[in-house]
Structure 1
Amino acid sequence: MEKELLYQKFGHIFDDALINEIEKVGSIKTFSKDDIIIDINQPLQYIPLLLSGNIKILREDNEGNELLIYFLEAGETCTMSLTCCMGTFKSKIRAVAEKDSSLIMVPVQKMQKWFHNNESWRNFILESYQTRFDEMLEAIDNLAFMKMDERLYKYLINKVKLHTSNTIIVKHQDIAEDLHTSRVVISRLLKQFENEKKIKLSRNKIEVL
C-alpha cells in the first residue's frame, strides 16, 4: 500500500531508481489529526515526504503564540525542515497534522547525497523551495497589507481547497490561533460573513457558500 502511495504521489517527480531507493531507506510514519510531527528546536535527522493527509507549518513567538505559515499537501515536503537539515540545525518550525496523515521519512544523509547525484531529486528540492518561498511571501503580504476579515476569508477558502469540501470542521479558537488573533474577533467576523451570506455556521463547523 505504501509503495503504491509513493508511486502515486511521487512517481511523476522522481525516476524509478530514486523511488526504489526511497522505499528501501525510508520509514513509514502515521500521525493522527493534531499530532505534532516536527517540533520547534527538535534536531532533524529525517526529511518528511507527505504521502497522504495535510500538514500545517507554524512559527511560535516568545510567549508561545503560534502563527500559520503554510500548508503541505500529499506529494510535498517541508523546505524549512530541509534548510535546517542541510545546516544540521534544530527545527525552527512546528509541523502539525491537519488531518490523519502518513509520511515516509528519509535520512538526512541520503537527501544530501541525492541532491548531488540525482537530477529528479534536485529539481524537486529546488521547486519546493520556490513554492514555499512564494507562500511565505504571501503570508508576509497578508500580515502586512490585508485586514483581518480579508485574511480570515482567504483562510477559509484555502481550507476548502485543502480538504476539497465546502464544509470545514474547525473550532473558532483554532482559527484564532492559526491567524494569531483572539477567538472573539474570529467569532465576530464569522457572524458578519454569515449575515453577508458568505458562510453558514453551526457547532464547530463552517459551510462556505
Structure 2
Amino acid sequence: MIQELKEGYGNQFEQELINEIVQVGTFKEVPEGFKLMEVGQYVKGMPLLVSGAIKVLRDDNNGDELLLYYLEKGDTCSMTLTCCMGDAKSEIRAIAETDAKLIMVPIQKMEEWTAKYKSWRNFVFESYHNRLNELLHTLDSIAFDRMDMRLIGYLKEKARINKEDTIHNTHQEIAYELHSSRVVISRLLKKLEQMGKIELHRNYIKILDL
C-alpha cells in the first residue's frame, strides 16, 4: 500500500501522514463496473484513488442518471467528503470506469488530520475546488452547449480516461450519462460517423478524428 500511496500522493502528503494512512487505511482493488457507492447509502470511509478511474453520477427525480465527473489517480470525491463530515447519506453513485485501486480512509480520521496536517487541509480544499469546477463545467455544458457538442466532449473524455480510442458503451448507456434519449444519441452518433469522425460497430465505437 505504501508504494501506491507514495506514487499517487507522495508529492502532496507528509511522510508522517502517509504512515498514518497506511496504518488505518483499507486497500481495495475493484474491477471495471464495480459499484463503490449507491445513492442513499451512509458513507463509512473516504476513497483515495491510487490507480484507474471512477465515474460519479447523480440521479434526477425520475431516476435518470447524469454523469458529473471522473475521479483519477491522486483524487478524492468532494461529495463523499461532505457526507462524511455531516454523517449524511450519499447523494451520488460511484462506479469504477476502469479497474481501479483505492485506499479507504476511516471517516473518524478526517477531522483529526485536518487539524494535524497542513497537507491534508490543502488536499481537502483543493479537492472541493476541483470538483466544484468540474460540476460548473457540467452545468455550463447542459445549459449552453448543443447535444452534439456535449456528445463529442463525452467521447473525448471517455477515450482519455480509458487511454484508448475505443468506447465500449451502448447508445443507451451514453444517453443515460448525458441525460438524453437513446434515439437522439443514436442519431448524433450516426451523423458523426457520416462525417468520418467515428466508426460505429456492434459492441463498440471507434474514435477516428474528434
Please report the TM-score for the alignment, with normalisation by the length of structure 2. Answer: 0.95
2:154 is the counterpart of 1:150: no
The code of the aligned residue for 1:104 comes to: I
1:62-100 Cα shifts (integer Å, max 9, x gaps):
221111111111111001110111111111111111122
Unaligned runs of 5+ in 2: none
1:146 offset after TM fit, Å?
Answer: 0.8
Aligned residues: 208
Determine if contact 2:56/2:70 at 8 Å carries over to the other structure: yes
Is residue 172–residue 204 contact of structure 1 (8 Å, CA) maintained in 2?
A: no
Deviation at 1:196, TM superposition (A): 0.8
Aligned counterparts of 2:12 and 2:199: Cα–Cα separation in 1: 39
Which stretches in structure 1 are left out of the alignment for 5+ residues?
A: none
TM-score, normalised via structure 1 length: 0.96
Query: What root-mean-square deviation, in Å, do the aligned CA atoms of Structure 1 and Structure 2 show?
Result: 1.1
* 2:80 aligned residue: 81
User: What is residue 188 of structure 2 aligned with on the other side?
Assistant: 189
Match of 1:56 in 2: 55
- For 2:103, the aligned partner's letter is I
Q: Which runs of 4+ in 1 moved over 4 A?
A: none
Aligned 8 A contact 2:98 2:162 in 1: no
Per-residue CA deviation, residues 135-179 of structure 1 (Å, 9 max, x unaligned), is 000010011111111100000111122122222222211111101
* Residue 40 (structure 2) aligns with: 41
CA–CA distance in structure 2, aligned partners of residues 176 and 136 of structure 1: 19
Q: Deviations over 1:173-200 (max 9, x none)?
A: 1111101111121111111001111112
Partners of 2:203 and 2:111 in 1: how far apart?
Answer: 43
Q: Write the distance in 2 (CA, Å) between the matches of 1:124 and 1:203.
A: 43
Q: Give the match for residue 198 of structure 2.
A: 199
CA distance in 1, matches of 2:192, 2:52: 28
Q: Percent identity?
A: 50
Counterpart CA distance in 2 for 1:123 and 1:181 is 37
* Structure 1 position 174 matched with structure 2 position 173: yes
